[in-house]
Structure 1
Amino acid sequence: MADKTVTIHSTDAIPTVTPEPTETPSENPGEDSSNKPASVEAPVTKEDGSVFKMFVISEATMINKGDKLVLTLKTNNVSFDKLYLGKNDDLAKTPAIQGMQEANGGYSFTFEVDADKAGTTVPIVLGKKDGTWYTKQQLYLAVPGSKTPEVTPIPEPTETPVPTATPTPSETPVPTATPTPEPAKVENGIYSGTAETGAAMFKVVGVELTVKDGDMKARITLSGVAYDYLYMGTPEEAAATDKSAWIAGVGTVDYTTADGETKTGMQYDIPVAALDQALVVSSHSAKRDKWYARTITIASSSLKKTADLPADETNKVADGIYSAEATTNAAMFKVVGVKLTAKNGKMTAVITLSGSGYDYLYMGTGKDAAAESGAWIASTGKVDYTLDGETKTGMQFEIPVEALDQEFAVAAHAVKSGKWYDRAITIASSSLKKTGDLPSDDNKGDTPKPTLVPTNTPTVSPSETPVVKPTSTPTPAPTQKPADTKPEQESKYESDLSGGTSKVDSATTLADGVYTPDGFSFSGGSGKVTISCSKITVTNGQAYATIAFSSPYYGYVKANGNKYMANVSGGSSIFTIPVELNKNNTIIGMTTRMSVAHEISYNIFISLAAAKKGGSTSSSTGFVKADGTISTISTDNSKLDTTAPEIMGLEYKAETKLAYAEYFKMYHYDEGITLLEIDMTKDTERDPEKQNEDDKKAEDTDTAAAEDTAAATDEEEAAAASDSKKTSTEKAKDLTEKTKELYEGNVVKYLIVPKDVEIPAGLDKDMIVIQLPVEKTYVASEDALKLLDEQLDAAESIKAVGMEQKDCQIENIAKAMEDKKISFDGAFDDLDYKALVKDEIDFAILPSEFLPGNAKDEEDADAADETADTKAEDQKDDKDDKTTDEKADEDKTTEELLKEENERLSDTAERLATLTIPMLVDRSADEKTDLAKAEWLKVYGVIFGCEDQANELFQQMVKAEENK
């Protein structure tokens, strides 16, 4: 039976035309031979037959495919995104018909119903965006058409009637159109094919068609790169439609013509409504900013099956053992190996993380993990793996896998901090490679379950205040070797007239050839996508970097004043672009993963020592941290460095020698940059040496188990949220969280950068950057105030203090407060953040009492000089003077106070990081001698631009002390 279309104009009877004597009446009068969608009426009604006004069908079309009717319904309603053909009380509302969102926010739904349903109503249930179903009343869909009439026998021929007058021309019968063949039904799989367009300027040179349960989509390759968008419709519709409905190119690919010539084309992913029929498409010229009307016809006769779908609609995989690949939402949580086992429709996976920084996983969020310690998944142990020719050690876990190609939530428990972090893993079905069958005795029984945590839980409960423990020093990152030594060609590009980037000076004195970067770092973006660089190609004295985004959805990159097209390979978007070596380069990447094409700005820094002017041989490499991630500094934050650490992109010059101070170190690099390190835990309750003793004692107790059910602190932003839902403020949280974590370490490293000096991109992820000059400082440390005012005469750089005027013991500062030149912006433990913003504070100095486990009462400091009688009298007076809060603090245990102080540190650090105010804790008061306290002049000399004066003053103090 040829495909026909049905057009329902109204609820009235449809006029028919008496067939010519030479024609056999159709068995279905409603059919049409065109197989094109016809407009119909298909309302959703209530039980009384009235239209359901919450879901009005704005447009409906139907195609009659013999025994099936293909309906497409469109609605402007934005509340319902799925349909189910069935009754409200059906428990399993499957299969659900998922809607496609239109530019106006409404949805379109395409589905099939049996042809015998024509002219009837069928029950329907509407699904909401939140996953629930509307079941307050039973709704019905009015299926267009009329019931197929019963076929009556053709009467026997009668006597030939007397010929009548020749009909007028208007009565001449219209020739019956040649029936089109029934569209080819293609089984599930992946196919290669060919397509015709009828336009020489719009030629399809490659088709990869994927068919799944009747739905088809194709990745087409155009012969060139002149078009940046396609649209499934007319140019007029494209121009009037929101850009989110445009189909952006997924990247470029090289292909070979029949003449053997290699060319580059742009690829697009498009829906395919039918084979052997012209699909209406519009193509957008990037150069002319104009839409052109096109058609694409994919011939069913050209299809050649190239592969089976890796999994069926439920993502079930045939029993066996497979290797696979997985992606995650965080660079700090990288899966480098997957061994997937499928049995009886269930799946588990042994995953290998890139490092050994996590000891437990939980299938869910970190918040839920704290309350379900029995569901923690313990690591099965460490395992060595090879990456870029280097042997590394990772941690393995066995986890359940509900589905492939879908992101599932995982919480990871950090060994060092004792905190839970929200992560996400996606295992790609396309990456599955069968490596073996199940053992013979494993073909029976239940699916193996992942190893769960034993009853003895970690000594550090996730809900505890993080215990800062020393970590091993990162080892230098092995030099990456390029996959091959073949020089890379500059990516295909066109001029970028938007002015987003400017030309770069890519000239270099290096000989032509391929080089491996000494180091690479970047800044910008949300942190969900990472950028890497494995190769530098020098051609005709110009440097080109091959960079890869860890996402296949970056269509182009703007750089060097041009727009470069992607080459998508292995889940990455790869570009080869001109760069200036050993300098920051601004690029803008366009991702299509969001609801609309979106551009994101980045800075990249490619270090190559051999290309430095003056022939410097400074190594400037990146370094591998304990969790497998790359750091821009060669040492961690476990302790003060005894020698200058290597910093990527910087050249070490000298060290500030310290004769007395114990709590800081200073190293100097090129461009006048200084690295300042301050020990935040030495001689406090968080001192690693003290913690090691406490941990040893804790091993002999069972107290940790009692804290398993405490709620975990959600320290990191949920990185699984897509970039499309992140505002600029939310994106800034990524760097804010990293900055907060830097303050929570044993040692805080500051990079003090002179005015107009540019540092390599990415250094701010590993060090707190203090950009000079600092002109409006908040100081809550009285010791620091004395050094700044009485010694360095730097009071003009102080804008606010942490004590009220009546409590200020420094005459010049008190006078400035009286004259309204310096304000009180809250005490260090009760900062007035609004005042800090109002006063435009750009640097904050806090006292050592701010450190957890380091608070000291002033009375306690002088206690040794008091007599017993004086103590007793003062204690009585103190008791009467204490506030309710102070008395409440007396009732708290040391552990409770320490927890509160840790929370105060984290909260203050996060708030100041959000305001981009660097925070320094002055520990001069904790130094053992007066000269050690005075040696902190060297710190403030560098920060406040009076280094020579500070050094001279300190030397005078040393001589004065020696002459005593």
Structure 2
Amino acid sequence: MKSRKLTVIIVSLCMCVSVLSGCGSTAEKEQVQHAAETQTAEAEPDTSLEDGEYTVNVELEGGSGRASVDSEAKVKVTDGQAYATIVWSSTYYDYMLVDGKKYTNENEGGNSTFTFPIAGVPCTMDVVGDTTAMSQPHEIDYTLTFSFAKDVSFKELKQTGQVKLSYADQFQIDEYGNYKLITIVDNGRFLLIPKGVPVPADVPEDVTVLQQPLNHVYLVSSAVMDLICQVGGLSHVAYTALKEDDWYVQQAKDAMADGSLVYAGKYSAPDYEQLLQGGCTFAIENTMVTHNPEVKEKLEELGIRVMVERSSYEKHPLGRLEWIKLFGILFGKQQQADDYFNKQVKRVKPIMEKKSTGKKVAFFAVSSDGTITVRKPNDYVSAMIGLAGGTYSLGNYTDEEKNALSTMKMQMEDFYSAEIDADVLIYNGTIEGELTSIDELVKKNSLFADFQAVKSGQVYTTGSNFYQQSTGTCDFIEDLNQILTGEGDGTYRFLKKLQ
């Protein structure tokens, strides 16, 4: 570090002499200037870190050599600012001076412990430690060097923790010090490596390495855009598989309007050339890509790592919402994701603890061919209805088509038989568009006029944003609970009552 600074000073002096004397050719002056700029760039590497917690190596120089600090320190980064916590081998340090600011011991009675801001990792900084071990307190000059461990082997990594998941069961995140191993059911493992942390040797072939920051991302799965926006991760996404008019997430629509988010082809036919030219190295797909396996293979062949998310396979509605933790971690927004998720759970916890009202709720849409599209009984939508205090029932109707889809088709006669006595009808506005009135529903099929919910005026619709607005889970539960219990002021965030 000192040699680099010396080089910069020497080059700068040469430039000054050259300018003052007027000597040297233009080419020589440009060469000197280029050298100075290069040395300056090398002398100031980017040591900033993504928000999160890290374990780093610490070296201490200075003093008599009798005192030391623990060889590892915890570094926490919040809003881009890194804070290091070091532990001394002595109990006698009562304060430290870092960049002229005083920091007092945090561990009274134990080994002296201090937390203070650092520029990043790696970094070297001069500090002062005040010790009371002698007859009089003495301030002693020290130099601290923070760095990440080198020559790390995947085989030697030891699990240090696991991200707590309360409802989701389609993914898991294990912590190995600075590394996080993400496992997605039936879709592989990913080793997430923070910026500045070395890639371990001996990474297994079935583990995909993801190095942060993850930028220029190609987001195909529209259902998770809302989650990414909620944690402030949209700036990491540059490409999408939807056009502007197809977005119901306003932030995504706005980003496409200002050009920061660009259409790069649908999931089955991405614009590979555009993605490569734009520096894309990571794509987030949903399970639709399994119908076109050649697309995933091509992306990976081009060096674009592919993660297939399975949030729609979560049985518990809050499990689907809990995927926000994964995207928060991917984009360095873990704290924001945790805070948002905990706040949402707190909203609906009292509702979930109530007894069921026993009222029957139907959730459906009328297709253009006259058939009725409903959600399967084990789907997250039926689970949301249950959490809100309702009962999702299709009578004795069973799905004859055994597939992985979350929806199934019914003939109107079967739906009539199963749901004529339903207390509440909710129309799914994402399939054929939302309804504007009960009359519009009856026009689709006159048999709806016989339904109990139609006669009592208990007919509601979701907006066209139902599928994309993943963070609306708790809004839906609160709205439906208000409808079923008759409590509240009749103001709904997610559902619309039809007249």
Structure number with greater Rg is 1
> What TM bracket, shorter-length normalisation?
0.3 to 0.5
TM-score of the pair, normalised by structure 2: 0.39
